Chain A
Amino acid sequence: MVDDSTRKTLSSIPLLQIRAGPREKDVWVQRLKEEYQALIKYVENNKQSGSDWFRLESNKEGTKWFGKCWYMHNLLKYEFDVEFDIPVTYPTTAPEIALPELDGKTAKMYRGGKICLTDHFKPLWARNVPKFGIAHAMALGLAPWLAVEVPDLIEKGIITYKEKS
């Protein structure tokens, strides 16, 4: 269900320890620090292995996240805006990652451009509460989605390469 390279990527992202959602104001700050530490480590790992593929930042409460992700295809870089809210039931439920500009362009999306995850994602997430965080959601959710969908969308001519202005 999870291939070896994903498994390797996953095992190098630090696990989180604090179980707290955004409604638990005090403990949430602790969880948020863990989220940032895990994300920083994940981005560092990606840079080292030459597979840097996203940037994220949040509002100061850590409830709204936004940034960019990109995918290399035939030596061209396709970039997309990423956004998601932290649901009140986090970390029991994973964040629903959205790529708003692709909304309506692929069937593998729910309303608002939320990506369709595989059948394996949610069970895997559920078994790893509260150890998995945003970094894990990116690695297990968005990365494989981009790897499958972007080449397909390019091939169908639905997305085209944009020259950096």
Chain B
Amino acid sequence: MSTAIDELQAIIAELKTELEEQKTATRNARDKIEHMSAEVVDSNPYSRLMALQRMNIVKDYERIRDKAVAIVGVGGVGSVTADMLTRCGIGKLILFDYDKVELANMNRLFFTPDQAGLSKVEAAARTLSFINPDVRLETHNYNITTVDNFDKFLATISESGIQQGQAVDLVLSCVDNFEARMAINSACNEINLNWFESGVSENAVSGHIQFIRPGDTACFACAPPLVVAENIDERTLKREGVCAASLPTTMGITAGLLVQNALKYLLNFGEVSDYLGYNALNDFFPKMTLKPNTQCDDRHCLKRQEEFQARPKPVVVVEETVSDEPLHATNDWGIELVAEDAPAVETTSKPAEVVSGLRLAYEAPDKLDISSNETAAVGDGAPEASLEDLMAQMKSM
């Protein structure tokens, strides 16, 4: 009897300690802060960010509180992206993912082993609200590519901005598959929303980000996806037994490039890259701009292109001084100037390298080749049957 009581007392003591630990953890979480202060004190979580103003990098940093960003895919890239934006004090984050945290994700950043089994959006929201309670978080746990969910997705990004009824300021695609990228692309073309596409290659040694402004830059359907040329012989690439490799480094770097450019866009500083690749094997960062394809398959893309063409463009005045005198009469070392501007590329290119270090994932279909030479088309010479008849026929086979 007494041993039983002793045992119970021991358990109670243990639970008390655990409870105390939990309480400390919550107590250490800070309260919400009404306004971002530039005051340099250890207790101000925004002092180093507000210092960007004093350093003349960003004007009025606090505008970040009026920005809402949707992150689609909260995996290796998306979770770090959400973490960074949360620490930057973004106004609102909307997270989409339908996956659960698994121990197999632990080679990447952000999630911890105790979160295994939780939905990624829920686990992320808990950590993020602890890091910065000022950020408004909204989570959606579904696959955006199915018919029903796509409409919910569309409604959310077009109405759940900083003010209800207003669209989000930016969509960040951190998904790992072509289908989801195409779904985001068609949604953003439809409601004319700027978005960044991001990705890491399946062998974990390259990544990229791409800024898509419907009608202005190439949409994701304008051309086959651009991939960073890795100069690895396809035949020596082992794919046996696994779907994809991943590294926390490549994913963290890609998330960093993504958020950096998102911040530059949201807070108007620096120059936002239209396409930036990262080749981890030789530390090469190819950069370029992609023009939209005038024969894009997405009709909303074509509509946005028309609207963009009709909009007056800001005139950039470039002062040029022309002199007949050669600047340097001799050039013993053969030094020459190379244009630094990122090259703009038409999206009708063949799969060969588009610019140095980048190539299209595959050859674009030839628009003129509509007919097939050997195969009959559906319904050739067959009498018109109703859908119900066909369904019944298939079922009875």
Inter-chain contact A107/B377, CB cutoff 8 Å: no
Q: Is the interface of B mostly helix, strand, loop or mixed?
A: loop
- Docked Cα-Cα span, A88 to B391, in Å, equals 21
Contacts of A77 in B (CB 8 A): none
Q: Is the CB of B387 within 8 A of A88?
A: no
Tell me which residues from 358 to 396 in chain B have a Cβ below 8 Å from any Cβ of chain A.
Answer: 361-365, 372, 374-380, 382, 385, 387, 390-391, 393-395
Once the chains bind, are B372 and A89 in contact (CB under 8 Å)?
Answer: no
Per the 8 Å Cβ criterion, residues 116-150 of B in contact with A are 145-147, 150
Contact B297 A87 (CB under 8 A): no
B378 A96 Cβ-Cβ under 8 A: no
A108 touches B182 (CB 8 A): no
Please give the distance in Å from A2's CB to the nearest CB on chain B.
Answer: 14
Range for the number of chain A residues in contact with chain B: 35 or more
Given contacts A33-B387, A88-B145, contact A129 B297 (CB under 8 A): yes
Instruction: Chain A residues near B66: list those with CB within 8 A.
Output: none
- Say yes or no: B390 contacts A37, CB within 8 Å: yes
**CA of A93 to CA of B220 in the docked complex: distance in angstroms?**
12
B375 near A14 with CB under 8 A, answer yes
In the complex, which residues of chain A have a beta carbon less than 8 angstroms from the beta carbon of B377? 14-17
Q: Given the interface contacts A14-B378, A29-B387, A108-B243, does A126 sit within 8 Å of B362 by beta carbon?
A: yes
CB-CB under 8 A from B372, the residues of chain A are: 15, 131
The interface residues of chain A lying within 8 Å CB-to-CB of B185 are: 89
User: Interface size (B, Cβ < 8 Å)?
Assistant: 41
Contact A57 B183 (CB under 8 A): no
Task: Write the nearest CB–CB distance from B219 to chain A, whole angstroms.
Answer: 12
A87-B145 in contact (CB<8A): yes
Contacts of B365 in A (CB 8 A): 126-129
Quick check: is A111 within 8 A (CB to CB) of the other chain? Answer: yes
Q: Which 5 A-B pairs have the closest CB atoms?
A: A123-B362, A36-B390, A89-B182, A14-B378, A88-B150
Q: A17-B378, A87-B145, A89-B179 are in contact. List 6 more A-B contacts (CB 8 A).
A: A19-B297, A33-B390, A58-B391, A107-B243, A127-B363, A127-B365
Can you list 22 A-B contacts (CB < 8 A)?
Answer: A11-B374, A16-B377, A17-B377, A32-B387, A33-B385, A36-B391, A37-B379, A37-B390, A55-B397, A60-B391, A85-B147, A87-B182, A89-B183, A92-B182, A93-B178, A96-B179, A107-B243, A122-B178, A126-B362, A127-B364, A129-B297, A131-B372
Q: CB within 8 Å of B: which residues of A?
A: 10-17, 19, 22-23, 29, 32-34, 36-41, 43-44, 47, 55-58, 60-61, 63, 85-89, 92-93, 96, 107-111, 116, 119, 122-123, 126-129, 131
